[in-house]
Amino acid sequence: MNDGKIWIQQYFTEEGLANQLVELGVPKTDIVLGFRTPYVRQFTGFAVA
């Protein structure tokens, strides 16, 4: 269950998909950077899980 969060599993875009989503109005708390370890996620400003 992902609790309605958007999980980004790979990050190959130069501009950054996560930042583009934020610009479109998606809250950072709804975006999980799945390519980062759970420990590192807490420091990204995005959702931990």
- List the domain boundaries for the chain: 6-41
- Please give the average per-residue pLDDT across 6-19, as a whole number: 82
> Would the pTM count as exceeding 0.75?
yes
- Please give the average per-residue pLDDT across 1-14, as a whole number: 79
- Please give the average per-residue pLDDT across 17-28, as a whole number: 94
State residue 13's pLDDT score.
Answer: 67
- Please give the average per-residue pLDDT across 12-19, as a whole number: 79
State which H helix or E strand residue 39 sits in.
helix 38-41
Return the closest-CA partner of residue 47 out of 23, 18, 13.
18
